[in-house]
Amino acid sequence: MRPETSLAAIAFFALAAASCEPTAPAPDPVPASIVAVTGEVAAVPEYRKPVVVRVLDEDGRGLPDAQVQFEPAGEGHGNVNGGPLAVASTDGAGSAEAVWTLPSTPGDYELRATVTESDVFQPEMPTGLTVTVPAVVESFSPALDAMLLGLGDRIERALQRMQETLRLNPTLEAEHRARIALLKRPDLDSEIVAGRRFLEHPAPSIEREAIPVVTVFPSEEMRHGATRIGSTIEAALPVLEGFLDAPFPAEQIRVWYGFELGSSGGGGTINMEDEGGYAAREGPLPYDAIVYHEMAHSYIGNESLTQLLELIVYNVLRTGSTDLETWPYTRDYPGLQDSNEDLYALMDIHGLIGHDAVARGYRAVLPLPTPYGQPLCEACVQAFVDEAPAEWKAAVEAKARRVTF
Ligand SMILES: [Zn+2]
C-alpha cells in the first residue's frame, strides 16, 4: 500500500467518525417546573423584597431564556418592579428575579410567578407552570419599622464591604468568609424579621423623655451581645450628652450589630462588630470604648475629637473622675510632650486647661464643621484657645494645630 492511500483511508475514517454526531439539531429543552428560591417572606410594610425563582427542564437543570411573569396574587398584595406585573427572562442558571414591594398594611400576601412561554417563536404556548411566594407583613414600632425597611440595603452594603475588606485583610480570611456566607443567605432579611432578631428600648436623654435604641442583628447567637450593647449605650448616653450639653443628634439610635467585621458610626447609626467576633480576633481596644466612639461620631466627624470623647465616656463612667491622670484607659497616652499630635495633643490640652474648659470647647465646636480626616478648622482651634487661661493660650493653639485628622 502506498503511503498516500493510507493517509486517505485515515482521513476517510476521521470523517466517518465525525458524521456519527447527530445531524438534526437537538430539540430545545422545555420548562418542566418552576421553583421559588426565595422562601416565605417576613417583612415590615412597604419593604422591597427581591424575589428569585428558577425555571428547570425535565432533567432538573436551570433553563435559560425562559419568560417568567411576576404578579401579586390580587388587589392589595403590593406591586412588582413598581407596577401591577413584571416579566423577566431567566439567566444562564435558570433564575429570574423581580422586586416585590409589599403592601403598607400588615397581613398575609402572595406573589405568583408563572412561566409564560418557552420560546419566542411559540408565544402562545401556555405552560401552566406557577409557583407562589407567600409573605407575612408585620408592623412593630415606628423606630423598628423604619430601620427594618432598610434591612435589605444594609445586608447588601455589608456584603460588599466584607468582600472588599477580605482582599485587604488576608489574615482574617476565615472570619470574612464566615460573615460573607451569613450575609449571602437569600432569606436572611426574612429570617431576621421572623426570628425577631431585633430589640428596642428607650434610653433616657436630656431635653426629651427618652430616645429609642433599636438594635438589629443577623444571627440568633448574637442576641446576648445585642442585648448588652443596648445597656452599654443607655449607660453612656447621659455622660456623652452631659459633656457636650446637647441631646443625641438623631431621633433614634440605630445599631446594626454583627453585620460586619470592624465598626463605624455617624448620623444616628452605629455599625458594630459583634462582641464575640471582636473578642475572638483579639481587637486592640476595649469593646465598650468602640461603642462610645461610634456613638460620638454622630456628633463629630473629626477622629481625634471623637477618640477623646471615647476616653472621656469610658473613664468617667468607670471611675467617676474627670482627671485624666487617674484614668485607666488612655490609648497609651505618653503624658504631656511637645511631639504629641492628634489625640495626644488634645489630651495635652485637657491636662493644661482641665475637663470643664475642654467640655466648653467641645460645645463651641459642635455647630462647626469637623470632617473626618482633616485638621481642626480655624474656628475649632479658636474654640479651645478661648477656653484657655491667658498663660496657656499659645500652648493650646499650638496643640490644637497638631490635630491632623
Ligand atoms: Zn472614628
DSSP symbols for 145-182: HHHHHTHHHHHHHHHHHHHHHHHH-GGGHHHHHHHHHH
Which among 153, 129, 306, 301 has a CA at the least distance from the CA of 216?
Answer: 153
The domains of the chain are located at 33-138, 144-299, 311-400
Q: What is the CATH number of domain 144-299?
A: 3.30.2010.30
Output the nine-digit C-alpha cell for 300: 463629630
Q: What is the Å distance from ligand 1's center to 297 Cα?
A: 7
Sequence-distant (6+) residues with CB within 8 A of 247 are 205, 206, 207, 208, 211, 241
Partners of 101 in beta bridges: 48, 79
The domain 33-138 is placed in CATH, from the list 2.60.120.10, 3.40.50.1460, 3.20.20.70, 2.60.40.10, at 2.60.40.10
Confirm if 208 and 247 have CB atoms less than 8 A apart.
Answer: yes
Q: What is the Å distance from ligand 1's center to 97 Cα?
A: 38
What's the Cα-to-Cα distance from 222 to each of 102, 150, 159, 226, rounded to whole Å?
Answer: 28, 20, 18, 6
Output the nine-digit C-alpha cell for 259: 453585620
Q: What is the Å distance from ligand 1's center to 344 Cα?
A: 15
Three-class DSSP category at 55: strand
Sequence-distant (6+) residues with CB within 8 A of 371 are 301, 302
Which amino acid is present at 382?
Q
Q: What is the Å distance from ligand 1's center to 119 Cα?
A: 56
b/e sequence 187-218, b meaning 16+ C-beta within 10 Å: bbbbbbbbeebbbbeebebeeeeebbbbbbbb
**Measured between alpha carbons, how far is 196 from 144 in angstroms, rounded to an integer?**
11
Which among 294, 286, 289, 388 has a CA at the least distance from the CA of 346?
Answer: 388
> Near ion ligand 1, which residues have CB within 5 Å?
303, 306
Q: What is the Å distance from ligand 1's center to 217 Cα?
A: 22
Pairing of strands 95-101, 79-80: antiparallel
| Per-residue tens of pLDDT for the chain, all 405 residues | 444 444 444 444 444 444 445 556 666 788 999 999 999 999 999 999 999 999 999 999 999 999 999 999 999 999 999 999 999 999 999 999 999 999 999 999 999 999 986 455 555 455 679 999 999 999 999 999 999 999 999 999 999 999 999 998 888 999 999 999 999 999 999 999 999 999 999 999 998 889 999 999 999 999 999 999 999 999 999 999 999 999 999 999 999 999 999 999 999 999 999 999 999 888 889 999 999 999 999 999 999 999 999 999 999 999 999 999 999 999 999 999 999 999 999 999 999 999 999 999 999 999 999 999 999 999 999 999 999 999 999 999 999 999 999
Q: What is the Å distance from ligand 1's center to 307 Cα?
A: 7
- Asked if domains 33-138 and 144-299 share a fold, the reply is no
